[in-house]
Structure 1
Amino acid sequence: MKPKIITWNVRGLNDRNKRLRIKSLLRMWKGDVVCFQETKMRFIDRKIVRSVWGCLYVGWTYLASLGASGGVLLMWDKRVVELIEECIGEFSVATRFKNVVDGWEWAFVGSYGPNVDRDRRRLWEELAGLYSLWDVPWCMGGDFNTIRFPSERLGHCQNSLAMEEFREFIFDLDLMDLPLVGGEYTWSNGRVWSRLDRFLVSPAWETQYPEVSQKRLARVSSDHFPILLDCGGIHRWHRYFKFENMWLIADGFVERVRAWWTTYKFMGTPSYILASKLKVLKQDLKKWNLEVFGHIDNQKFALLEELQELEDKELLGDNSEEMLLRKGMVIANLERVLLSEEISWRKKSRALWLKEGDRCT
């Protein structure tokens, strides 16, 4: 079992529409463990968790924000990992997991680093203490709010004490800072680019998953890029055919299926005829689903690809008014598509739930 872990400084989860956009992205990224930093929420319950991640089997724990500052939310799919133990610190949320499939035990800590040097030293002490708490392979992820080397910030940057202390922390714990795929930096305010977010893993983790890598994902609704830890060539099972509840909400769906069914002509035993008709119906449903519902995914992927291209241009120094205007339009269109997609899913699920509820009463 090779988990996929996502870390992202979301810069607040209070806005309902923002949570819906994030939920749509998580559905696309298919993570098994998700860690958000800077939630800016003092209290998080199941309702909030379900509004941001649609997984029915979600487990979660969180570090409350201090007023409207900070906060960490850690979520996991209970079908993939089992929680053994947890620890909430001043800057982090740590969990000890056991893989459901193979029973392998490991620990994860998601952290949000302070931007004051003396406070950041307390973060290193806290993470070092957690590291010694559980004698298992470790994975650390989050927004550490500092860089390791001057090269991790675009432009002129000198070595600093904060960088030296971060490097010393990584060296003392014998952690591995994996290369970042998909871009050099993880945060930007439009003028400054820095690599503030990352995963760090222990040698035992790398031994278990020798193909592990971290990848920068598309940036939407935050000035931080999400980071995906891919534990190496995840081989998902063949995508099997399944009936989608949302099809029942489409206009004329039942009539369409009835019309298809009457055109299927087969000879043989009743069971053979039924199986043959269902096989052909499956192919017709796949084609129809792509035509009716697939266009939203096409828009989403096209916008994400264009956004990545515009981010690369901006990084290379193209700050023309035309480019920035286009980037703003792409982000707005992408957020609209993500929100529309999630609202559509919610409406269809709600409508079907009410319909099925009526049948049960």
Structure 2
Amino acid sequence: MGRVRRWSSWNVRGLCSAEKRREVKEILKKAKVEIIMLQETKLGDNRYSTGELFAKSLKLCHAKVAASRSAGGLLSCWDSDTFNVVDVILDQRFILLIANVPFMSSTVVIGNVYCPNYVADHRDTFSKLSDEISRLGYGCFLGGDFNSTLNPGERKGGADETDSNFWDFAMGLNLLDLPLTNAEFTWFSSRNGGIWSRIDRWLISEDILQELEGINQSAECWGLSDHRAITLEMWAVDFGPKPFRFYNYWMLGDDFNDLVKSWWNSPLVAGWAGASLHERLKSLKNEIKKWKGSKGSGLTERISILEGTLQVIME
């Protein structure tokens, strides 16, 4: 089994108090997650720097959306040593990270989503989110509080009704909903004798699952919020950086030797000797790739000629 990756999504219901931030930070540190998606931070423009300081205290990069009138607010944090985030899309209801992930063969979208409480507003949110993901054209991981149930049986103590807007959104993008391994519900309210729902989850593109050795999502313990944090665990085979392919016969060509001599006599890169050598070797790799490309342009024709010659000899 490959290395276990852990990502977490959590509606924390506010990060305004220092005590709450401390407790949330300790919980997340113990969980050892690489990505953290927080919803309902309730940090408005006047508390905007609080989210930044919170992310820095975890030694993580971040993207944030301010709350509107003390409602909502999003904060996404990630380990820059693990993820190369090439772009960020911010909306009042979602944050999309376009990132290169070491255990995926192509770029992916990692989304932090908070849908409004009112079902009447869901269509606009899902429509806008669907349009952005379709435009980007990458597979995606979406974590968040969708304020909707997707399947029958995900609500107890109230009307067990699914949201057709949510269903159409998930089906339209080929998003799969993995079952929770350890719980039925993720949110609780004491009103009307008690209401339980599964409205927090991760949704994953179908094609992404083909690259993973294993994956599951589980709910963390009840605690600081009326929502449970949802942790996504993935097992991926990580072979490390792809090796540079080199064939010894390349050295038989005079032009290859000239290429290496030209590189060796090129100006040195300023700085520490180790870093300078590293940059020079990178430049040599690029030059060899260009040389190999020019040599390979007529490779098919040469192979055909050699095969014809061999056929004559064999006859």
Normalization by structure 1: what TM-score?
0.60
**Distance in 2 separating the partners of 1:15 and 1:78:** 27
Q: Deviations over 1:39-95 (max 9, x none)?
A: 101246565444366432x11111111020001101101011011011112310101
8 Å contact from structure 2 (residues 153, 160) kept in 1? no
Q: Indicate if the aligned counterparts of 2:55 and 2:61 stay in contact, CA closer than 8 A.
A: no
Is 1:169 aligned to 2:172, yes or no?
no
SS in 1 for 2:22: helix
8 Å CA contact 1:138–1:202 kept in 2: the answer is: yes
Q: Which residue of 2 aligns with 1:209?
A: 212
- Contact kept, 8 Å, 1:152 with 1:194, in 2: the verdict is yes
Instruction: Answer yes or no: is 1:220 the counterpart of 2:223.
Output: yes
| Aligned residues of 1:20 and 1:52 also touching (Cα < 8 A) | no
Q: Which residue of 2 aligns with 1:94?
A: 96
Displacement of 1:233: 7.4
Matches within 5 A, 1:282-293: none
Code of the residue aligned with 1:111 in structure 2: it is V
In structure 1, what is the equivalent of residue 42 of structure 2?
40
Q: Which amino acid aligns with 1:219?
A: W
Q: Structure 2 matches for 1:308-347, cutoff 5 A?
A: none
For the Cα contact (< 8 Å) 1:62–1:74, is it kept in 2? yes
How far apart in 2 are the matches of 1:78 and 1:45?
A: 21
Write the distance in 1 (CA, Å) between the matches of 2:126 and 2:50: 33
Query: Equivalent residues in 2 for 1:249-264 (5 A)?
Result: none
Partner in structure 2 of residue 77 of structure 1: 79
How far off is 1:155 after superposition? Answer: 3.7
Instruction: Tell me by how many angstroms 1:12 deviates.
Output: 0.5
> Map of 1:48-59 to 2, 5 A cutoff?
48-51=51-54, 54-56=57-59, 58-59=60-61
- Higher-helix-fraction structure: 1
Partner of 1:146: 148
Pair 1:26–1:159, CA change in 2 (3 A): closer
Q: Which runs of 4+ in 1 moved over 6 A?
A: none
Distance in 2, Cα, partners of 1:13 & 1:69: 12
* SS of equivalent residue, structure 1 residue 131: helix
The code of the aligned residue for 2:66 comes to A
Partner SS state of residue 6, structure 1: strand
Given candidates 192, 203, 215, the residue that maps to 1:200 is: 203
Give the drift of 1:149: 2.8
Deviation at 1:156, TM superposition (A): 5.4
Distance verdict in 2 for CA 1:167–1:20, change over 3 Å? same
> Structure 1 unaligned runs (5+)?
236-361
Aligned sequence identity (%):
26
Number of aligned positions between the proteins: 232
- Residues 182 and 170 of structure 1, relative CA distance in 2, 3 Å threshold: same
Q: TM-score with structure 2 length normalisation?
A: 0.68
CA distance in 2, matches of 1:45, 1:117: 28
More strand by share: 2
Contiguous gaps of at least 5 residues in structure 2? 239-315
Q: Which amino acid aligns with 1:25?
A: I
| Bigger radius of gyration among the two | 2
Separation in structure 2 between the aligned mates of residue 49 and residue 144 of structure 1, nearest angstrom: 24
